[in-house]
Amino acid sequence: MNQVRLIAVLAGALLFCGGGEDGRAQAPARAFDVVEATIPQLQAALGAGTVTSRDLVAAYLARIDAYDQKGPALNAISAINGSALADADALDAERRAKGARGPLHGIPMVVKDNYETVTMQTAAGSKALAGWVAGTDAVLVKKLRDAGAIVIAKTNMHEFAYGITTLGSLFGQTRNPYALDRNPGGSSGGTGAAIGASFAAVGMGSDTCGSIRIPASHNSLVGIRATQGLASRTGIVPLSSTQDIGGPIGRSVMDVALVLDAIAGYDPADPQTAAAVGNIPKSYTAGLQPGALRGARIGVLGALFGTDAADAEVATVVRASIAQMKDQGADLVEVMIPGLTELIQDRLRGFLVLGQDFKADINAYLAARPTAPVRTLEEVLASGKFHPGVEAVLRGAQAVDSRDTKEYLEHIVKREKLRVAILKAMADQRVDALAYPVIRRKANLIGEAQLGTNCHLSANSGLPAIVVPGGFTPDGLPVGVELLGRAWSEAQLLKLAYAYEQATRHRRPPASTPRRTS
């Protein structure tokens, strides 16, 4: 374990195991099983007084201590919040005095290492930013804290979010709790592995092209990439201002909806969020009903199931999961999007703009943060403090002189053409959502390239998509099914996903991080 990580983990461990501020030993956590516990279940126990937020924080920290660097050594956690127990005590006292702020009051959660936090370093998985602590919380972190959530830790990520296997120079490789020799997806794989292993109630990731949805799929979780502009990016280390968005990863649709309620909304510092005004319901949980699939029309996007023999294993699981939607009363419609195959084949040259965005966006971000140890992408490269696995993409981004080019504008136009083509196909077939595999291949072995992502349909159109557990491959690896909807249709997607989840209950915990008996 590197020194930065060791200091952070030891700080949390001392708080967990040692005495309070006055040196007296703290009472041990009351017996409460946090494994697979949902936010409503935790909130019910807190409200009944059978458990405190301190108990919950201690229980989750104990699981992190047992399984993150020991046992299966998932390597999902990048830093422990040394004030987590104090935060819990304050929220417990507030609950006793005034009642709960809302459904997230006293609920422990984790956030990805690219979210700024005043209590822990923000390094985006890179040695180039090691030790840097931001002066303010990211807007979404502040919203969650204001809602009463307790950020107990930060999670590992693919360095600068520039990859989908969760590997970086600062913290190394995160492991998949369902198969320790495989990756957890990325770039939010630390959050995916942590929530899959019940290191917290829920977590935050960010998605530029699949970085919430792939970890959700690989860890039997729910994840949502909202409509571009629904949630602020202020205080999140950027990869692409065109495509970045933060969002929740959880073990249930309800948990994800509760977090979305807390984070959605306009941020004056992020002009993109102005489009969200008037498009956010009172609550994303209000319409969650088990029968929501009855009468729904689901478009099956066969073009995204793949034709390679290696795609067949995941395709079989997803086809079966979509058939289960029909069993719940949905009408299934095969949908074709004219020109989609060509757009997919041409996506790197056609509309995937993150390579052109990154240099300008990271330079602007660092320039606005004078305490950061590096000020430009060029300085990151000059420092040599990055993983060899991201060197090529970093150098490629550095070679981009400007976004003010004909090529870049052509890419933006192609993105709009994709969005219009998707919406027209949905309108012509009168479907409520499109269904397809999140990623056509199961989690790859560590060290091998992860192929088969379908991340671009949502990321490059700006349309929302939700992932829900769809089952497992014969060798026990999770597979998610993705549902994509029209702009601002998050409530509808959550309804459909909830109905499917309640009917199938595909989610199951990994064997590598069992319940603890101590």
Distance CA 65, CA 78 (A): 12
Give whole-number Cα distances, 247 to 69, 125, 194, 206, 445, in Å.
26, 18, 15, 6, 26
Which one of the listed residues 198, 211, 217, 489 is annotated catalytic? 211
Dihedral sign of CA atoms 397, 398, 402, 407 in order: negative
Give the pLDDT score at 1: 42
Say what percent of the chain tops pLDDT 90.
87
Which one of the listed residues 112, 143, 154, 385 is annotated catalytic? 112
Give the pLDDT score at 234: 99
Kind and range of the H or E run holding 223: strand 222-225
Is the pLDDT at 24 greater than 70, yes or no? no
Average pLDDT, the chain: 93
Give whole-number Cα distances, 275 to 393, 424, 462, 486, in Å.
31, 21, 12, 14
Give tens-digit pLDDT for 326-366.
999 999 999 999 988 777 665 545 456 888 999 999 999 99
DSSP label at 36?
Answer: T
DSSP label at 439?
Answer: B
Kind and range of the H or E run holding 415: helix 406-429
| Cβ neighbours of residue 238 closer than 8 Å, sequence gap 6 or more | 244, 357, 358, 361, 362, 365
> What is the total residue count of the chain?
518
Give the pLDDT score at 351: 53
Give tens-digit pLDDT for 393-430.
999 999 999 999 998 888 898 899 999 999 999 999 99
359 is catalytic: no
Pairing of strands 465-472, 478-484: antiparallel
Which one of the listed residues 187, 188, 241, 321 is annotated catalytic? 187
Distance CA 316, CA 479 (A): 10
Give whole-number Cα distances, 465 to 72, 220, 327, 482, in Å.
31, 16, 22, 6
Give tens-digit pLDDT for 227-276.
999 999 999 999 999 999 999 999 999 999 999 999 999 999 999 999 99
Give tens-digit pLDDT for 287-299.
999 999 999 999 9
**467 SS3 class:** strand
Can you tell me the mean pLDDT for 474-483?
Answer: 99
Distance CA 297, CA 318 (A): 17
Please list the residues that pair with 206 across neighbouring strands.
246
Is the pLDDT at 515 greater than 70, yes or no? yes
211 is catalytic: yes
- Amino acid found at 284: Y
Number of neighbours of residue 392 by Cβ within 10 angstroms: 10
Give the pLDDT score at 2: 45
Give the pLDDT score at 26: 41
Distance CA 399, CA 409 (A): 18
Record the pTM: 0.94
Give the pLDDT score at 9: 41
187 is catalytic: yes
Tokens of 76: 């999902």
- Taken in order of first residue, the domains within the chain and their CATH numbers are 3-504 (3.90.1300.10)
Distance CA 115, CA 374 (A): 17
Which alpha helices (H) appear in 346-405, and where do they start and end? Answer: 347-350, 354-367, 377-383, 388-398
